[in-house]
Amino acid sequence: MPHVSDVVVAIAAVLVACLAGAATAHAAARSGNWLLYICTAGCAAFVAGVAGQQTFPTAATVARLGSAAAARSVPGPWDAGVSLPVVPIRVTPVAIAGVVIAAVGLSLVLLFERIPDPARPRPRGLPDLEEDDAV
């Protein structure tokens, strides 16, 4: 049974991942840099891994195999079986894969980011309000 602090940490992590996924999708659509979609996919995998996690071993597995055999069974991709080294939290392999995919995508974006051409004209900003009033 998860504690209240585990649920709060999971909610905060999902909110941060959702915001990061939305930001990278928006940046990818605006800039045309498709590498940012890799970060978006990683954020989506992290959210799916946290939202779909189950305790390990599940009650159905304990009822089917018994407590000793269920404790020795191998956790699946949706079972919270990976322990983080610093914080006492167990996460799913899907969530860990999402973090790795997002980190790889971010490193690819930073390595292969397009540098703007200085000869290309910059887009013109919005006109000042005084110019609009002087009709």
pTM score? 0.73
In a domain, 93, yes or no: yes
Residue range 46-87, pLDDT digits in tens: 999 888 887 777 777 788 888 888 777 777 777 776 777 777
Contact predicate 64/127, CB 8 Å? no
The HSE-up count of residue 14 (CA atoms within 13 Å, CB side) is: 14
* Mean per-residue pLDDT of the chain: 82
Which residue type occupies 86?
V
Q: Tell me which residue range forms the domain holding 31.
A: 4-65+75-113
Q: Per the structure, how many domains does the chain have?
A: 1
In a domain, 125, yes or no: no
Pairwise CA distance, residues 61 & 48, whole Å: 22
In a domain, 23, yes or no: yes
Q: Which two tokens stand for residue 70?
A: 């269920």
Residue range 78-107, pLDDT digits in tens: 777 677 777 777 788 888 899 999 999 999
What integer pLDDT is reported at residue 90 of this predicted model? 75
What integer pLDDT is reported at residue 104 of this predicted model? 96
In a domain, 37, yes or no: yes
